Chain A
Amino acid sequence: MDPRLTRRVPAARLSAAVALELGLADAEVVTVGTACSAGNYAIGNGLDAIRVGDADFALCGGADAVCRKTFTAFYRLGTIAPDCCRPFDAGRQGILTGEGAGVLLLESLQSAEARGARIYAEVLGYGLNCDAYHPVAPNQASVARCMRLALHDSGVKPQEVDLISAHGTGTRANDITETQAIRDVFGDSPPRTVSLKSMLGHTMGAASALGAVACSLAIAGRFIPPTINHVSTDPLCAIDCVPNTAVEADLRIVQNNGLAFGGNNAVVVLGRHEQL
């Protein structure tokens, strides 16, 4: 076997490749291996690194490629949709595997203003917890607790959240557990809750990073990206998923959910930055 191929296996290569490409010598280069919520973990770590003075800038994100291993695993679990991904829909049949990468540049307000950067959003805070319950099945109480941790860290009350970008995989286990956890936290009239996976598929390690990118664009562009492929909402997923068509919206605070195998929950809260 070609050594150039075998040496690509270690996951540290993922973040190292970015540092190599950008020539980042004075950088802490870390690959977070927490599966489908890794992007939110990276944003949280970047936020804390800047807050405690460990870094001036943090490039935070996630990347994943479609691969046989992942597809086979989800197929064997009976969670691959035969045609398209319909999160929260009564007729949903599962996920579509996807791929991609999303990266956000985090820096302090002072730094962004000093260089005249366009500010898409402010990272208000985040929450991490672990279900400590099941290797693949999500746990409603624990997912709710993670959202509460994120809101508390952000100094945000549930009623102040304007939009949730759900993990929203389009599987029965995820969608019902997640929407019921949302209702546990937000009550009977939760904020509009969309799933980008309806459009992007499940991009695994990239998913919550792409979610955070979309939330930032939504805040800056004053719109809500829709949950597409939607026919009729599952009564067990009683949320307004903004079906099929984007709507204009004045978003002040947006919550981005990331859940993962192993109960590795990570929720990031973003807010609009009012530039004076």
Chain B
Amino acid sequence: MYITAWTAVSPYGLGREAFAEGVLARRRTAAAVLPGPRAVPDARACLVPDFDPRAVLGKKGTRAMNRVTGLAVTAVGALVGRDTGDAGDVGGTARADEPDCDTALVLGTTTGSVQSMMDFTRASLTGERPFDVEPAVIPNSVMNCAAAQCAIWHRLEGPNTTLACGRPSALLALAYARRLLLGGRARTVLCGAAEEYSSARAWLERRSRSVESAGSPVPLGEGAAVLRVELGAPHGALAEVLAVESRFRLPGTSVAEVVEAVARTAVEQAGIDRREVWAAVSSGLCDEETGVLGELFGARTVNQVPLTAELLGDTGAACAAFQLTATLAVAAYEAPEARCDGRIAVVTSVDREGAVTAAVLRMGGAI
């Protein structure tokens, strides 16, 4: 399975170019959170600058659109734009003319928009009557809202799947996408993840943190990143997905031992000697994870691709999606003429709920 295009809507701005430029410059994006209508507990966060679904997508069909849906629709649009083709550039606001039955969408999330869900429940609790709620926002309170809106907006009639798997979502989406392709259920899969910054999410994170491991908290981030994957790549690939492996961390086992087991199995599955690994890409949200990758693949490997958590914050469900796009950005920058250089990257992710996943990519891939 090959990755043939990608895009990102990130704290660096809209599109692939902005993302690649920011990652290569290793520019951190945390900035002061401007006072808004809702209080947040954070002084700093990594937000997609000036992002407003109505400004980016136009006023038609966006009146009730929530932020995570806007991020996802914008990102997916960059990969389906009939005009922009493979550019991965955001900005095409035109809706697709023809329905597409052959393209699937697999989108990762944590819980959809907790802001929309809590606003909706709050309206029911505080309204004069318990059903005094705005019907237009009902779809926003369902977890599959963003993926469904991407389908409506871009006329994607193929399989449309929401994976609520937290941080590793994009890696699990790759495994899911491979099954769809092998089963002949789609010819192309757009897979990625989206997460919004909101007051509700910020407060939930803040209240949850007291049971997390110590250390200075990573600021929250947001955004969406989407990859296009296919079984064949006659026009060349950005990377080949060699393996995706998952485990679950049970109580009494350390993050390090599970990450090591997953990463070892993944490279074995891929038929790769671990000394061949060029980049080991940790989520950067867990020191143990980065540490064990360095021990396993060599200290040099963990510095090849910048830690997206340091640059973009904790982007929740979008974490692994941004790790993937950062890896693709670095590989393209380092070998702009020779895409098929065959270097190996291992991307890992650890979710707080216990899922641990690793993907092995051969950069450039075979054609």
Contacts and interface: CB of A to CB of B under 8 A. Distances in A.
Given A3-B208, A13-B353, A52-B178, A132 B152 contact: yes
A9 B204 contact: yes
A72 B133 contact: yes
Interface string B338-367: 000000000000011111010000000000
Contacts of B209: 3
Interface in B148-207: 148-149, 151-152, 154-166, 172, 175-176, 178-180, 182-183, 185, 203-204, 207
Contacts of A30: 163, 165, 172, 176, 355
B246 interface: yes
Interface string A90-131: 000000000000000000000000000000000000001111
Interface in B203-229: 203-204, 207-211
B99 A132 contact: yes
B148 A130 contact: yes
Contacts of A25: 247-250, 253, 258
Contact of B250 (A23, A135, A153): A23
Contact of A29 (B145, B204, B246): B246
A59 interface: no
Contacts of B120: 69, 72-73
A49 B179 contact: yes
Bin chain B's interface residue count: 35 or more
A11 B195 CA distance: 14
Nearest to A136: B139
Contacts of B104: 128
Contacts of A260: 144
B162 A33 contact: yes
Contact of A72 (B114, B124, B246, B249): B124
A11 B109 CA distance: 9
B142 interface: yes
B75 interface: no
A10 B157 contact: no
A127 to B, nearest CB: 8
Contacts of A136: 138-139
Interface string A27-56: 111111111000001000100110110100
Interface in A180-197: none
A261 interface: yes
B112 interface: yes
Contacts of A276: none
Contacts of A23: 250
B303 interface: no
Contacts of A66: none
B262 to A, nearest CB: 10
A181 to B, nearest CB: 15
B136 to A, nearest CB: 9
A26 B354 CA distance: 12
A19 B124 contact: no
Contact of A128 (B142, B161, B352, B354): B161
Nearest to B160: A130
A52 B184 CA distance: 12
B101 interface: yes
B175 A134 contact: no
B156 A28 contact: no
Nearest to B167: A12
A145 B253 CA distance: 46
Contact of A48 (B110, B151, B179): B179
B180 A48 contact: yes
A262 B164 contact: no
Interface in A230-266: 260-264
A12 B133 contact: no
A112 B207 CA distance: 46
Contacts of A12: 110, 164-166, 351, 353, 355
Contacts of A19: 248, 250, 354
Given A51-B183, A130-B156, A29 B99 contact: no
8 contacts: A12-B351, A16-B354, A30-B176, A31-B163, A31-B164, A33-B112, A130-B148, A135-B138
Interface of B: 99, 101, 104-105, 109-112, 114, 117, 120-121, 124-125, 130-131, 133, 135, 138-139, 141-145, 147-149, 151-152, 154-166, 172, 175-176, 178-180, 182-183, 185, 203-204, 207-211, 246-251, 253, 258, 351-355, 357
Interface of A: 1-4, 6-7, 9-14, 16, 19-20, 23-35, 41, 45, 48-49, 51-52, 54, 68-69, 72-73, 75-77, 128-136, 142, 145, 149, 153, 260-264
